Structure 1
Amino acid sequence: MELSNKLRWDQFLILATALMSPALKVLCNDILSLKVAGDPVLTPNSVCLRLAGLSKRQMRMCVRSPDVTASALQGIQVAIHECQHHLRDQRWNCSSLEGHDPEDVRKCFRESAFSLALLAAGVAHSVATACSMGKLRGCGCEAKRRQDDDKIRLKLTQLQLQTLQKGGVGLSMTRSLPTELNSHHGNLPANLRSTHPSALLKPLPDELSSMQETWEWGGCSHDVRFGDRFSRDWLDSRGSPRDIHARMRIHNNRVGRQVVTDNMKKKCKCHGTSGSCQFKTCWHVSPEFRLVGSLLKDKFLSAIFVNSQNKNNGVFNPRAGNGASGSTGGLNGGRRRSMSRELVYFEKSPDFCERDASIDSPGTHGRICNKTSYSTDSCSSLCCGRGHNILKQTRSERCNCRFHWCCYVLCEECRLTEWVNVCK
């Protein structure tokens, strides 16, 4: 993949190039040149002035929201880390993304489509997660699914009193009602202020089941819409929407963000007396980013090859044999595929065997291969027919990395001593 602008974005890198200690270690975030972990004060001076190559639109966004920008940049690094994980056995393994502006991918290979989608997903995911953590001034929990705490407590109190009236708890439970029941009883409607019976019957199974299924939105749902919008404004602004490169970028960016949105999960917390689950409060959380990467890897393997003619009409035309169409989909093994949720590309990938800066290929010389494999990590495939050497190697690798806001990563150092097969 050619990077038209060879600006070094080394100040973006969160990950250090090597770990010097075998213990769990805090790596400073070179994005902001911070030397301490924790919650720094993020200002335009500490963020925006350190970033080279920003467009005017991006600079305005950064000055307006430096904390969100820092979160977005951290999302880019999480995405690069994930890209390297999923393509670790491929000839092009995302390693070159760390040395350049990852937004400036100009080639339109299948690998380009995957990396663009993953970067857009990383920004949306990181910003939405930081919002829910209360780390960003411009956003918080998703307002649409945010229930008023007093209303939730009132709802719980009503259900508990109904349970008492129907015989849901015995005398032993009435003496240990939750604090919200007692503290808010004086504010209840008159029809709910009843004397607890001295002899109570247990509820019928169907009544108990219906009570267990009662839930309301509560907690703090991740504001994925805010993350999606910031990712779109940050990454989709470059280039004319009629240019085929820009259209491919915008399309694949949207597919990446959509994977995050489509895989939001509902988490719930039970409320009730003595460990019961009379009532649930639920909230939406972003999917694990490893899942996002895996789903996009599947789309990478089935990406659609489109015509490269730039007809200036904003429409992709799939090439024959793809089993897809731009609007309603096409046939693929008897099933219709919609291009709207698929990755697209219009340049056939080179072999990536040799170093070639014009296509962003680092080559495969020195790569470790698997001589017993028949897959893409085999020595015959990865070494491109050049053969391999067998060496005893002791090396240190960063492993089990966990990204933290803002802006550092915790990694362990894994030391390995083994015989390896290395491409000539």
Structure 2
Amino acid sequence: MAKKQRWYSLGLLLVCVQTLVSALDMWWNLGVHRFETWRNPQLYILGTQPLCTQLKGLSAGQTRFCQLYHDHMPSIGRGAQAGIGECQWQFRFRRWNCSTVDDTSVFGPIVNIASREAGFTHAISAAGVVHAVSRSCRDGELASCGCSRARRPKNLHRDWIWGGCGDNIEYGYRFSKAFVDVREKEKNHPRHSRGLARMMMNLHNNEAGRRSVYNYAKVACKCHGVSGSCSLKTCWQQLPSFREVGNRLKDRYDAATEVRFNRRGTKLVRKNKKYNKASKEDMIYLDQSPDYCESNPETGSVGTLGRECNRNSQGMDGCTLMCCGRGYNTFKRKLVERCNCKFYWCCYVRCKTCERIVDVHTCK
């Protein structure tokens, strides 16, 4: 109970802080920031100003978090970096390929549009923080948490030992919720306002990202016994791989629900009653996605000019869809690869170098 009160009190304190950060400044910038300075406690204070106040992208509440939990910041940065990387992997064959820009917004003006893409960036980033902080707890990198204290699963074999050092997903979830969501809660928005709708959308998608990690924790076990007989097992709680998280959120992106205000202007409801209500694991969005076929600095679209495509595919990576009907150019590319590899006892592998010519197609 004391822990819950502490987190609740901290949340109230941070909600009262008003943000001074522009709409395009985002904490995702930590994903491309170098964190060596946090490794050295002597560098935490620069003169009389904490390092946290000099970081671009943090809101006022997040800066306060940084000051209270500065040892968590490298983990948050790794989580943001993992989210950016996974976003680019999941959308590598789409017109919008989750490209980044060289400023504190990371994803550019696209985040200002309340579309599916903005929803995905919020979800995957929040999931990245859960994942990274949970793992850092297990590895003993953080002062305020350690190994998981999750209860023994009821269906675990009675002869197996529950007590290995598991990923502390419970702490990672709580910290991600407090750090990521405080940015959205720092301002009061009137009913029916665009700001309130966007805040509610972001909070919902942040939670969907966290649950894509929290609700899918696994049980990992290690065998013990003479000559690997596995007469005894030790088990612990383990995070799902971040690729699994990304795959799950990509499915949620494809099935995202378009929402609008209810009559009172206090709640978001599905726009089309024919579709199911969005659960807390589902993504929601307010606006239709912009046209990603052409470059448009205002929307953040970089277009598909010069993007590689698959001439033989009928999917989104195919030249017809990727190039938006503009056609494509074909050229030859020489690939140099290792081939004819042989294993020699003991113990090395020797390969030859082979060259081959492939056709490459790029959008006009």
Check conservation: 1:140, 1:223, Cα contact below 8 A: yes
- Residue 329 of structure 2, aligned match among 373, 376, 389: 389
- Residue 221 of structure 1, aligned match among 156, 166, 173: 166
Matched, 1:121 2:127: yes
Letter in 1 for 2:304: T
Q: Distance in 1 between matches of 2:358 and 2:78?
A: 33
Q: Distance in 2 between matches of 1:144 and 1:369?
A: 46
Structure 2 length-normalised TM: 0.75
Match of 2:59 in 1: 55
Letter in 2 for 1:320: N
Matched, 1:270 2:269: no
Secondary structure at 2:200 match in 1? helix
Q: Distance in 1 between matches of 2:26 and 2:197?
A: 26
| 1:230-272 deviation digits (Å, cap 9, x = unpaired) | 2112221223476110111000110110010111111122344
Q: Distance in 1 between matches of 2:172 and 2:319?
A: 41
Aligned identity (percent) is 36
Specify whether residues 255 and 13 from structure 1 end up closer, same or farther in structure 2 by C-alpha distance, changes over 3 A only: closer
Secondary structure at 1:95 match in 2? coil
Q: Distance in 2 between matches of 1:308 and 1:388?
A: 43
Matched, 1:246 2:199: yes
Give the superposition deviation at 1:144. Answer: 4.1
Secondary structure at 1:392 match in 2? strand
Q: Distance in 2 between matches of 1:305 and 1:10?
A: 25
Give the superposition deviation at 1:393. Answer: 4.5
Check conservation: 1:44, 1:62, Cα contact below 8 A: no
- Bigger relative contact order, structure 1 or 2, given CA contacts below 8 A and separation 6+? 1
Check conservation: 2:29, 2:105, Cα contact below 8 A: no
Match of 2:293 in 1: 353
| 1:339-368 deviation digits (Å, cap 9, x = unpaired) | 222111121112211222332211111111
Check conservation: 1:124, 1:228, Cα contact below 8 A: yes
**What is the correspondence of 1:21-32 to structure 2 with a 5 Å cutoff?**
30-32=33-35
Matched, 1:44 2:44: yes
**Structure 2 residues not aligned, in runs of 5+:** 1-20, 190-195, 337-354
Check conservation: 2:28, 2:57, Cα contact below 8 A: no
Match of 2:69 in 1: 65
Give the superposition deviation at 1:40. Answer: 3.4
Q: Distance in 2 between matches of 1:11 and 1:416?
A: 40
Letter in 2 for 1:71: S
Q: Distance in 2 between matches of 1:339 and 1:230?
A: 22
Give the superposition deviation at 1:6. Answer: 4.7
Specify whether residues 212 and 118 from structure 1 end up closer, same or farther in structure 2 by C-alpha distance, changes over 3 A only: closer
Give the superposition deviation at 1:106. Answer: 2.7
Letter in 2 for 1:64: L
Secondary structure at 2:92 match in 1? coil
Match of 2:276 in 1: 324
Specify whether residues 394 and 228 from structure 1 end up closer, same or farther in structure 2 by C-alpha distance, changes over 3 A only: farther
| 1:3-41 deviation digits (Å, cap 9, x = unpaired) | 974559897455xxxxxxxxxxxxxxx42367xxxx933
Matched, 1:107 2:107: no
**What is the correspondence of 1:395-410 to structure 2 with a 5 Å cutoff?**
none
Check conservation: 2:26, 2:106, Cα contact below 8 A: no
Please say which structure displays the higher CA radius of gyration. 1
Secondary structure at 1:341 match in 2? coil
- Residue 243 of structure 2, aligned match among 276, 290, 300: 290
Check conservation: 2:98, 2:107, Cα contact below 8 A: no
Secondary structure at 1:340 match in 2? coil
| 1:88-134 deviation digits (Å, cap 9, x = unpaired) | 11111111367542599332111221221111101110111111111
Match of 2:309 in 1: 369
Secondary structure at 1:57 match in 2? helix
Secondary structure at 2:298 match in 1? helix
Specify whether residues 318 and 5 from structure 1 end up closer, same or farther in structure 2 by C-alpha distance, changes over 3 A only: closer
Secondary structure at 1:269 match in 2? strand
Q: Distance in 2 between matches of 1:228 and 1:5?
A: 25
Match of 1:421 in 2: 361
Secondary structure at 2:65 match in 1? helix
Q: How many residue pairs are counted as aligned between the two chains?
A: 308
Give the superposition deviation at 1:320. Answer: 1.9
Q: Distance in 2 between matches of 1:303 and 1:354?
A: 24
Secondary structure at 1:122 match in 2? helix
Secondary structure at 2:268 match in 1? coil
Give the superposition deviation at 1:379. Answer: 1.5
Structure 1 length-normalised TM: 0.65
Check conservation: 1:13, 1:98, Cα contact below 8 A: no
Secondary structure at 2:280 match in 1? helix
- Residue 94 of structure 1, aligned match among 92, 98, 110: 98
**What is the correspondence of 1:156-305 to structure 2 with a 5 Å cutoff?**
213-239=158-184, 240=187, 243-272=196-225, 275-305=228-258
Alignment root-mean-square deviation, CA: 3.3
Q: Distance in 2 between matches of 1:346 and 1:416?
A: 48
Letter in 2 for 1:131: C
Specify whether residues 140 and 388 from structure 1 end up closer, same or farther in structure 2 by C-alpha distance, changes over 3 A only: same
Q: Distance in 1 between matches of 2:78 and 2:257?
A: 29
| 1:154-203 deviation digits (Å, cap 9, x = unpaired) | xxxxxxxxxxxxxxxxxxxxxxxxxxxxxxxxxxxxxxxxxxxxxxxxxx
Q: Distance in 2 between matches of 1:55 and 1:416?
A: 52
